[in-house]
Structure 1
Amino acid sequence: MAATNGAHLLLETARDLGVEICFANPGTTELTLVDALDSVPEIRPVLGLFEGVCTGAADGYSRVSGKTALTLLHLGPGFANGIANLHNARRARSSIINLIGDHATWHLPYDAPLTSDIESLARPVSQAVIRLADVATLSADVTHAVALAMSAPGSIVTLIVPTDIMDAPAAANRSPALAAREQYRIPSPDEIADRAKAIPADADVIFLLGGSGALHEGAIRAAGRVADKIGARLLMESYPRIVDLGGDLPRLERLAYFPQDVIAQLGDATIVLVGAKTPVSYFGYEGQPSQLVSDEKLVILAEDNECGATALELLYERLKERSSSPSSPPPSARIRSNDLTPDEIVEELIVQLPEGAIISLEGSTLGGPFLRESYRAARHRVMTNTGGAIGQGLPCAVGASLGAPGARIVSLQSDGSAQYTLQSLWTMARENLPIIIVMAANHRYGILQTELKRADADLSLPAIETLTRLDNPKTDWTALAQGYGVAAIRATNSQEFAAALKRGFSHDGPLLIQAELP
């Protein structure tokens, strides 16, 4: 139907440009957009009870589907509630357009209670911030926003939508055609030949894959051929946006977390970056370097906006085969136990994980063990917390499920970070999403305790206990999940966990497993 006002025109333009979903937590300034969504049924509205759920879900949806997601947020304070997960999404180079309602332009001078500087809030997590100023240019503004968000490797754009612009009459949808999506740049053979000159012919080489264009099947297989030809090792970034793993894919080591571990892992090898950034320390530690590989040991084969698979294939043609290749150590024999530990959880997940599953991973308790062993599982994909702002795992699982209908989603979640966006459970239940949440319930901030131990702190000191232990009282995750409408099971040993996981993979809808850890 023809647009009747600015809100209709905005949504119809977005629809015509391929947008299919809107994660929303609207308020009074967005009422016209809410009403218009009924007239544009091709854009699916998904309600989140907290803005951080909406922005995190948009991130997961974009990572999995490769499409652009809308969020609909209420003024500056509502947007501020979602900024943490937009920080993660920016690091993941997700394609998101935030629609932020604002007061009518004629009302702004009166400084009403919810008036704020939205531009300043949005700028740090947005490639562009566009305030809609006239219904006559609205369609062109939306088209520009979609083009920016879709341009490889993806970005966040924020549209500020005042109520008077949304209410303004619009006679017809005048959306211009969207220019062809900017694809990943294809490096030329001459460029790769020039970059390849810096790769030593007789020294250890490590290929570090990352970004948004080098961790998919094509690039990983090409990297495997290169590694076999010259005896190189393959690593992925510590926190990949989304990576294909398992099955018959070449094995990827995960780049270590702590700086001294990274330095030991990389040794004296030349590091070839394929879509990845230069390894740096996650935090600054006294006596440790911030940049963990010297410039003379770095080679950039492909930037994040370049096609990593093409770069690797062109490199393969130029490289001379070396006489020896390092062999991967065979998997060690694993003795199963009935004690419920992170290793047992991971082992059972590897046994049961179905082909095509997607893992939303947040937290070191299960994250490290899983990424260490994931190569033994069936083919799957893994999303991680790219920006370190916690509260990302559960909403990302929501978005992943909506972005990949039919896929089984597993959220490997730590109990401390889950508290930030536990409202995601309600959206999972409402949308009846096939998500298994494995809640690693150790009732503490594990990573913080690890960092404190590294600093030789005494974890038994009263203030440290107060700020790192979550066992007084212990969270009853099964009760919380059931309160939000999600089925839940408590597992205290590996046998109970195996049964719960089996039930989850056959369950119609979400299921939470509270895995009680020591």
Structure 2
Amino acid sequence: MNGADVLCDVLLANDVNVCFANPGTSEMHFVAALDRKPSMRCVLGLFEGVVTGAADGYARMTDRPAATLLHTGPGLANGLANMHNARRAFSPMINIVGDHASYHLPLDAPLTSDIEGLAAPMSKWVRRIGGPADVQPATEAAFRASLTPPGVTTLILPADAAWGDADAVSPGKVELASPPAVDIDAVRAVATAIRAAPGRAGMIVRGRAARADALEIAGQISAACDVRLFSEVLIARMQRGRGRVAPTRIPYPVDAATAALRDIDVLVLVGGKEPVAFFAYPGKPGRLVRDDCQVLTLAAHGQDLHAALEALGDELGVRQSQPALVASAFPEEATPTGSLTEDAIALSVAKKLPGDAIVCDEAVTSARRFFALSAFAAPHDYMMGTGGSIGGGIPLATGAAIACPGRKVINLEADGSGMYTVQGLWTQAREKLDVVTIVFSNRTYAILHGEMRNVGVNAIGENARRMLDLDHPALDWVSLAKGMGVEAARADTCERFDALLDAALSRRGPFLIEAII
């Protein structure tokens, strides 16, 4: 038995049985060990951003970590953008980064780099394995750190620690600390503030507080105490649809966000932080609430958010049987026809969404209406890239499909964002994943046109246009998808889109629709 075998055994003993990988020479002993462990599912990504993004999607849907396997510092660096999204989503993840043998590092070979320095900004925990004898305690520590509280961890595996002889081990389950008890003083302070601000209190839910059972409690508090219920701009995972409580998402544009929160005197945070503007703009605020707004934390990430909401309901005298306001039937709206539009796609997807589907939304500007409409859709899970780093949508959908093989996954994807990690389509084809990718093909970085206007530039010249538009040549998503083994078709009318969506939803396996808008 070598160190790589021990690492695999510790992971499997703790139900870490999926490894998203893009290995290199330094990881070959670990690859060989994986080959000896048929209970570990190994999923190849052709780019490390696909690997880390898929591990993020997997973690969000299972609440447990997958492993990633990355090749030295440059391989880790390629995966950092989606590690950033995972960090912001509080996703549990165990990155295994291979490195040179410890005695080879002083020679400064071409792939030598500061792996700890690269990993630290995107990881809550980083550790280099000291040798074969350190593999078991280090791996157990990585697993524990990934879940208490959930977050991204990085374990550096030198090649000589992987190939070195190790004593046979029989690893067991790692004991995890229970979440801290509900802070009754915080509960009472929040209840007092809500009572003192009838109709002018708001609550933001995220993390476990955005699951259906916790949302039900938050909705009861909202209805009984006239508290407005919000979600953050970027949502890690929320359970939505008919019969579920539907928070209002804080808008992305600063002016709209400050308007939505202008009359809030008390803002209660459940699992998240105070919302702020994405960027600084001349003459606009960074904080989205008024300076005199009282911001209180009921419970933070790592605490029992469901129990904290229950305690707040009890403190406010809200009965569990009290009805919450939930979404019901779709509002009356004519079925769109003719040329395809963003709103027509959003309406069609919301109406046709299968029950228990998973929606991974990286359509950026193109599907803003979908979130509101999704409140009336069949019950589903909804996810976004949470760190603002684009290129997460295709990998998120890939990881979610591996986590939940019996559920249809819908990926709403902007064309510019999709090109960052288009290689994920190949993984979907290889693994025969049940993912429908809808590419909003407007052939531009539309969000950046808006950002130019936000900084006061209304007339865009040729140089700026060439940096913001995706034409000349236009991307051909049907050919790109087919080249990676995914069946695909193009739609430019509402009727054609509806027909393609019906066909994609009626069958299993990956399918891509290029929606020309």
> TM tier, shorter chain?
over 0.9
Match of 1:199, SS state, is helix
Equivalent position of 1:300 in the other structure: 297
Stretch moving more, 417-426 or 456-465: 456-465
CA displacement, residues 200-237 of structure 1 (integer Å, 9 cap, x when unaligned)? 43432444333322111111000111111112221111
Stretch moving more, 169-178 or 211-220: 169-178
1:381–1:459: structure 2 CA closer, same or farther, 3 Å change rule?
A: farther
CA displacement, residues 133-159 of structure 1 (integer Å, 9 cap, x when unaligned)? 12112101110110000113x111111
Contact 1:140 1:175 in 2 (8 A): no
State whether structure 2 residue 5 is matched by structure 1 residue 8.
Answer: yes
State whether structure 2 residue 473 is matched by structure 1 residue 473.
Answer: yes
Give the CA deviation at 1:251.
1.9
Give the CA deviation at 1:423.
0.2
Equivalent position of 2:156 in the other structure: 160
CA displacement, residues 252-271 of structure 1 (integer Å, 9 cap, x when unaligned)? 11111122211111122222
1:250–1:466: structure 2 CA closer, same or farther, 3 Å change rule?
A: same
For residues 100-499 of structure 1, the aligned pairs below 5 Å read: 100-152=97-149, 154-175=150-171, 177-179=173-175, 181-269=176-264, 270-293=266-289, 294=291, 296-319=293-316, 332-338=331-337, 339-499=339-499
Give the CA deviation at 1:352.
0.9
**Letter matched to residue 169 of structure 1:** D
CA displacement, residues 321-347 of structure 1 (integer Å, 9 cap, x when unaligned)? 79xx99999965323222311111111
Give the CA deviation at 1:456.
3.8
**Letter matched to residue 228 of structure 2:** R
CA displacement, residues 468-494 of structure 1 (integer Å, 9 cap, x when unaligned)? 111111100000000000000101111
For residues 59-138 of structure 1, the aligned pairs below 5 Å read: 59-138=56-135
Q: 2: CA distance between counterparts of 1:350 and 1:176?
A: 45
1:110–1:279: structure 2 CA closer, same or farther, 3 Å change rule?
A: same
With normalisation by structure 1, the TM-score equals: 0.94
Q: 1: CA distance between counterparts of 2:458 and 2:128?
A: 51
Q: 2: CA distance between counterparts of 1:358 and 1:93?
A: 19
Contact 1:211 1:277 in 2 (8 A): no
Stretch moving more, 213-222 or 360-369: 360-369
**Letter matched to residue 479 of structure 1:** S
Equivalent position of 2:52 in the other structure: 55
Q: 1: CA distance between counterparts of 2:298 and 2:68?
A: 35
Give the CA deviation at 1:511.
0.2
Stretch moving more, 390-399 or 262-271: 262-271
CA displacement, residues 365-412 of structure 1 (integer Å, 9 cap, x when unaligned)? 344111121101000011111001110000010000011111100000
1:188–1:124: structure 2 CA closer, same or farther, 3 Å change rule?
A: closer
Q: 2: CA distance between counterparts of 1:56 and 1:115?
A: 25
Contact 2:275 2:287 in 1 (8 A): yes
Q: 2: CA distance between counterparts of 1:297 and 1:191?
A: 13
1:42–1:205: structure 2 CA closer, same or farther, 3 Å change rule?
A: farther
Give the CA deviation at 1:280.
0.5
Percent identity between the two aligned chains: 39
Q: 2: CA distance between counterparts of 1:479 and 1:203?
A: 56
Stretch moving more, 70-79 or 454-463: 454-463
Contact 2:246 2:326 in 1 (8 A): no
Contact 1:105 1:164 in 2 (8 A): yes
Q: 1: CA distance between counterparts of 2:457 and 2:351?
A: 38
**Letter matched to residue 267 of structure 1:** R
1:417–1:377: structure 2 CA closer, same or farther, 3 Å change rule?
A: same
State whether structure 2 residue 38 is matched by structure 1 residue 45.
Answer: no
Contact 1:359 1:412 in 2 (8 A): yes
Stretch moving more, 50-59 or 37-46: 37-46
Contact 2:194 2:225 in 1 (8 A): no
Q: 2: CA distance between counterparts of 1:508 and 1:494?
A: 23
Q: How many residue pairs were aligned? A: 510
**Letter matched to residue 211 of structure 1:** R
**Letter matched to residue 87 of structure 1:** H
Q: 2: CA distance between counterparts of 1:238 and 1:488?
A: 31
Contact 1:481 1:488 in 2 (8 A): yes
1:28 to 17, 25, 29: 25
Q: 1: CA distance between counterparts of 2:219 and 2:445?
A: 37
Match of 2:139, SS state, is helix
CA RMSD across the alignment = 2.0
With normalisation by structure 2, the TM-score equals: 0.95
Contact 2:497 2:515 in 1 (8 A): yes
Give the CA deviation at 1:299.
2.2
1:201–1:194: structure 2 CA closer, same or farther, 3 Å change rule?
A: closer
CA displacement, residues 30-88 of structure 1 (integer Å, 9 cap, x when unaligned)? 10011111111221100000001000000000001111110101110111000000010
Which residues of structure 1 form unaligned runs of 5+? Answer: none
Q: 2: CA distance between counterparts of 1:321 and 1:110?
A: 67
**Letter matched to residue 90 of structure 1:** R
Q: 2: CA distance between counterparts of 1:33 and 1:193?
A: 52
1:331–1:36: structure 2 CA closer, same or farther, 3 Å change rule?
A: closer
